[in-house]
Amino acid sequence: MNEKIIIGRGTKYPLNGILSLPDSCAAKVPAVVLVHGSGPADMDESIGANKPFCDIAEALSAQGIAVLRYDKRTKIYGKQMLKESPGNVTVESETIEDAILAAKLLKNDDRINPDKVYILGHSLGGMLAPRIDAEGGNFAGIIICAGSPRTLSDILISQNDDVLTQLPKLLQKIAKKQIAGLKAKFDAITEMSEEEAKQTKVFGKTYAWYFKEMAGHPAVDYLIATEKPVLILQGDKDFQVSTEKDFALYQQICIGKPNVHFKLYPGLNHLFMKSVYGRVKDFKKEYKVPQKVSAEVLEDIAEWILAK
């Protein structure tokens, strides 16, 4: 059963969303807020021919868990935000504020158990999930899907380096220069004042302040500080975050934290779907293949929430 809802009704940036409810809500049910990865995204987190958030909502609501998904603010208001104040866009305005509003909406719904509202963040949303919880989400538990404890700039450089190794020799020289230029821009951000960062473009329409503000709130600090239940999931064929640099680092950071549980899925990509090409340079082709989120992953998420 799907209901249309609005996140941030009455605010400057109201967003359309869908609340997927179990067929029976005789008792108050647990619920989960879905938080997107990087870039503008619709409520299904549509990527190519795939709709991972739709898959998650359908599967979890069938298991007795309500799921709230909504359009990302930059998908609907990106041009407006850039026009109004281009250098001021951060993960706070892009992602965090709306996720907190979504949590409050669920907790005020009579059909939802307010003590069993969870967050599931994918990719950048997973990185930010512990911060969203600490800044007002106040969730019962945190699910990090294909996230990373590293900075976003580190991840972007790693992805570019991976592409480099997959290019023909002729193009590698040009790409090396471009990557070195990007790295120099990221290195320079550390020394910038807030004002400078808000006026300096790094690439496209993204300003230095976006990276500086995020780096000033390390995701890993929030993860280490939380005592809430945390589930960290990743596919071993994910070419956007890596098993060695990200999943293994999460495990290392969380040694001695019994509240954190991990699972790595063989053969799955960044969307928790079967890997097709397995190379970052082929990501557009990879996501054009219509697939569904792995049934095993969906079952594990439902089981983890219902066991709490």
Q: Which of 42, 158, 270, 294 is catalytic?
A: 270
Q: Which of 123, 153, 158, 294 is catalytic?
A: 123
Q: Is 300 a catalytic residue?
A: no
Give the span between the Cα atoms of 67 and 56, in whole angstroms: 8
123 catalytic per annotation: yes
122 is catalytic: no
Out of 71, 98, 109, 238, the active site residue is: 238
Tell me which residues are annotated as active site. 123, 238, 270
